[in-house]
Structure 1
Amino acid sequence: MLVFVTTVILYVFGFVFLYGVIRLGVRHGIEDIEAHRAQAARAEELASFQDRTFARENAFLTGS
């Protein structure tokens, strides 16, 4: 009987532990995605600004 109770307790704590590990991994993954999204948006704005600056400085190349 003691072995059965011990097995059940370890089984339940194992699931609780796995739930915590998975939740922590998902949270860190979402944080990484949000950080990458902000960096990608910033890089896109910078590229757009550089394109406009290049076109303005080299108007003869744009055909305008």
Structure 2
Amino acid sequence: MLVFITTVVLYVFGFVFLYGVIRLGVRHGIEDVEAHRAQMARAEQLAVHQDRTFARENAFLTGS
């Protein structure tokens, strides 16, 4: 009977531990995606600004 109780307790704690690890991994993954999204938005804004600056400084290349 003691073996059965020990097995059940370890089984339950194993699932609780696994749930916590998966939840932590998902949270960190979501944070990484959000940080990457912000970096990509900033890079896109910088590229647009550089393109506009280049076009303004080199208007003869744009055909306008």
TM-score using structure 2 length: 1.00
Q: What is aligned with 2:41?
A: 41
Counterpart of 2:50, as a letter, is Q
SS of alignment partner, residue 29 of structure 1: helix
The yes-or-no answer on 1:7 pairing with 2:4 is no
The yes-or-no answer on 1:18 pairing with 2:18 is yes
Identity %: 89
Distance in 1 separating the partners of 2:2 and 2:35: 49
**Runs of at least 4 residues of structure 1 off by over 3 A?**
none
Where do 5+ consecutive residues of structure 2 fail to align?
none
Where do 5+ consecutive residues of structure 1 fail to align?
none
Distance in 2 separating the partners of 1:37 and 1:3: 50
Q: Could you tell me how far 1:45 is from its partner in structure 2?
A: 0.1
SS of alignment partner, residue 56 of structure 2: helix
Give the root-mean-square deviation of aligned CA atoms: 0.1
